[in-house]
Amino acid sequence: MLWRMDSTAPRVHRVTFLFADVEGSTRLAEQHGSAAGTALARYHEVVAETSTSEGGRIFERIGDGAYACFTDAAAAVRAAAELQRVIGDEDWGPIGRLRVRIAVVTGEVEELGDRYYGPALFRASRLQSLAGGGETLVAGATVDELEGRLPEGTILRDLGAQRLRDVSEPERVYALVHTSRVRSSEWQAGESEPMQGTVGMADEEGPIRVLLVDDHAVVRRGLRGFLELLKDFDVVGEAENGREGVAAADRLVPDVVLMDLLMPEMGGLEAIAAIKQAHPEIEIVAVTSFIEEEKVTSALEAGASGYLLKDAEAEEVAQAIRAAYNGEVHLDPAVSRLLAQRMRQRKDAEPVEPLTTREKEVLGQLAKGASNKEIAYELGITERTARTHVSNILGKLGLASRTQAALYAVEHRLV
């Protein structure tokens, strides 16, 4: 996007760019033909309408890319938030859903006529390539100019310094998130209260946001293709190894992660532990090609709330995701039989140290699939105390996970 040469000197000033494009537009065109063309035309209309309503203007369109500029950073961010809202509410006909990637970047540019030139354009393009479908990323320079002026119903999540391709200096990046898509405890990093302009959780729940982590592109493509046919799922990202999966979970904060266990660079078990440590609220379903008792127990102990084999039917995968999202445990039938067999082998053995009355009550709650917070509420104790009781129960019974404890309770008719 170079400015054309003429006798008028370019004007140098500070603007904020909003870059938008559609994730998977080529695939949509291949699969849906003219319906995709109609949807993309409507998408361009929506970008123009939302940008103009906030005082911005479209200065370029290339394919599915739409590029707007604003004199006010807060107006650009408002336009980005409104654009994602409208895109989410729109009926896109046969294509189902449209996922738009947005980057908002502020910087000095040279303007000549209706053309712009300068590093800010390049950084906006690179920041946009970092975004996933449905995600809005905002540069640190833009956030500095907001002074807390965020669109109502949104928060900023600090993603830290990110390396942008071919950009020498790291860029401080924030994700603009609608509060209906985050839990009430999440606010901007380092803030004890939500930034000005934010509101609490919305009552309305959207689709289950899923992250796919598998080193086989064919597997990811197959899972995405199936899940995208279901209205209650939104595949927000993919990663091809555990390390990328952890980074994607930090950036996207999905509701549920489908995690392969055998991957290069960082395996699934290590990735599960890292994600659960940083984001206890994210549920993870482990997926693997075969059953090894050690891997099963390790995955559940690391924090997985489900365990599937890769030959599972597609609908079972969907059920496992829904179960994890609802705080339930879903295990492949073969895995359940394996764990139940181990419990039966212990059936007649008494714990080295008997459980206290309170521990039996906690064990009964575990058998119902209750979280530590739910246990604390039901029994009138603190969450930390509930966590301590769970740890003591596992130690006394020689068990590796909450799931095994639940099975033990069932086998011993404690529920």
For the chain, give every domain's residue range.
11-181, 208-340, 346-411
Q: How does pLDDT run along the chain (415 residues), one tens digit per residue? A: 443 444 466 788 899 999 999 988 887 888 888 999 999 999 999 999 999 999 999 999 999 999 999 999 999 999 999 999 999 888 888 887 788 999 999 999 888 777 888 888 888 988 988 887 788 999 999 999 998 889 988 888 887 788 777 777 888 888 888 765 444 334 333 343 334 333 222 333 568 899 999 998 888 888 888 887 787 888 889 999 999 999 999 888 899 999 999 898 899 999 998 998 888 888 899 988 776 667 777 787 788 888 888 878 888 888 889 888 877 777 777 666 666 555 555 545 555 568 888 888 888 888 877 777 788 888 888 877 887 788 788 778 777 567 777 777 777 766 5
Q: What is the pLDDT of residues 303-324, one digit of tens each?
A: 888 888 887 888 888 888 988 8
Identify the CATH assignment for 11-181 out of 3.40.50.10860, 3.20.10.10, 3.40.640.10, 3.30.70.1230: 3.30.70.1230
pLDDT of residue 241: 93
Which CATH superfamily is 208-340 part of?
Response regulator (3.40.50.2300)
pLDDT of residue 8: 61
Contact at 8 Å (CB) between 69 and 52? no
Report the predicted TM-score, pTM, of the whole model to 2 decimal places: 0.53
pLDDT of residue 4: 42
pLDDT of residue 203: 33
DSSP alpha helix (H) spans, 216-356: 217-227, 242-252, 268-278, 293-302, 314-325, 333-345
Identify the CATH assignment for 346-411 out of 3.10.20.440, 1.10.10.10, 2.40.33.10, 3.40.50.720: 1.10.10.10
pLDDT of residue 2: 40
Pairing of strands 65-70, 11-22: antiparallel
DSSP of 332-367, one letter per residue?
A: -HHHHHHHHHHHHHTTTPPPSSPPPHHHHHHHHHHH
Name residue, tokens 């997985």.
304
How far is C-alpha 402 from the chain's CA centre?
Answer: 25
pLDDT of residue 138: 94
pLDDT of residue 53: 96
Intrachain domains 11-181 and 346-411 with the same fold: no
Q: Which of 295, 288, 228 is nearest to 258 (CA)?
A: 288
Contact at 8 Å (CB) between 375 and 362? yes
pLDDT of residue 192: 36
Contact at 8 Å (CB) between 177 and 197? no
pLDDT of residue 206: 67
Contact at 8 Å (CB) between 28 and 95? yes
The one-letter code for the residue type at 132 is G
pLDDT of residue 295: 74
Q: How far apart are CA 111 and CA 118, in angstroms?
A: 9
Contact at 8 Å (CB) between 18 and 51? yes
pLDDT of residue 284: 92
